[in-house]
Chain A
Amino acid sequence: MSKSKVKYSSSKEYIDESRNELVLTEFEVLNAEATDFPGNHHGFDDSWSFEKFKKRLKINIVRMENMEIEFDLIGVDPAIPNAFRRILLSDIPTMAFDKVFMFNNTSIIQDEVLAHRLGLIPLKADPRLFEFRAEDDDAGTPEDTLEFELKVKCSWNPQRTKDHTNPEHLYRDFRVLTSHLKWMPLGGQKDIFTPDAVGPVDDKILIAKMRPGHELDIKLHAMKGTGREHAKFSPVATAFYRLLPQVKLLKEVEGEAAQRLQKCFSPGVIDLVDSGEKKVAKVNDARYDICSRNVFRHEDLKEDTVKLTRARDHFIFYIESTGALAPEVLFTEAAKILSQKCRVFLDELKNGL
Chain B
Amino acid sequence: MDVDNVLKNTKLVKRYLDCLLDRGRCEKNGKDWKVQPVYSSGSSAISFNFLKISEFAMENRRLAVAREEEQDDRMKTFIFKGEGHTLGNAIRTIILKNPDVIFCGYTIPHPSENKLHLRIETKSISAVDALREGLEQLQNLSDHILKTFETAVVDYKSNQMEV
User: Which residues of A are at the interface with B, using a C-beta cutoff of 8 A?
Assistant: 34, 37-39, 46-48, 50, 53-54, 57-61, 64, 71, 73, 76-77, 79-80, 82-83, 86-87, 90-91, 328, 331-332, 335-336, 338-339, 341-346, 348-349, 353
Contact = CB atoms under 8 A, between A and B. Distances in A.
Interface of B: 55, 61-65, 80, 83-87, 89-90, 92-94, 96-99, 128, 131-132, 135-146, 148-153, 155-157, 160
Contacts of B80: 345
Given A79-B89, A335-B145, A346-B136, A47 B131 contact: no
Contacts of B152: 59-61, 71
A61 B148 CA distance: 11
B138 A338 contact: yes
A50 B148 CA distance: 14
B146 A339 contact: yes
Contact of B132 (A76, A331, A349): A349
B146 A79 contact: no
18 contacts: A37-B96, A38-B97, A38-B99, A47-B99, A50-B144, A83-B87, A86-B85, A87-B86, A328-B153, A338-B138, A342-B142, A346-B132, A346-B135, A346-B136, A346-B139, A349-B135, A353-B55, A353-B128
B63 A341 contact: no
B89 A50 contact: no
Give the dominant DSSP class at A's interface: helix
Nearest to A85: B86
B146 A47 contact: no
A338 B90 contact: yes
A53 B137 CA distance: 10
Q: Name, among B89, B142, B151, B152, the residue most crowded by chain A CB atoms within 10 Å (CB to CB).
A: B142
Given A345-B62, A346-B136, A353-B63, A335 B87 contact: no
Contacts, number: 124
Contacts of B144: 50, 53-54, 57
A60 B157 CA distance: 12
Given A338-B142, A339-B146, A342-B135, A83 B86 contact: yes
Nearest to B84: A86
A76 B55 CA distance: 35
A329 to B, nearest CB: 9
B99 A353 contact: no
Nearest to B63: A348
B25 to A, nearest CB: 16
Given A335-B143, A338-B142, A48 B85 contact: no
Contacts of A79: 89-90, 92-94
A346 B61 CA distance: 12
A216 B132 CA distance: 56
A305 to B, nearest CB: 36
B89 A82 contact: yes
A337 to B, nearest CB: 9
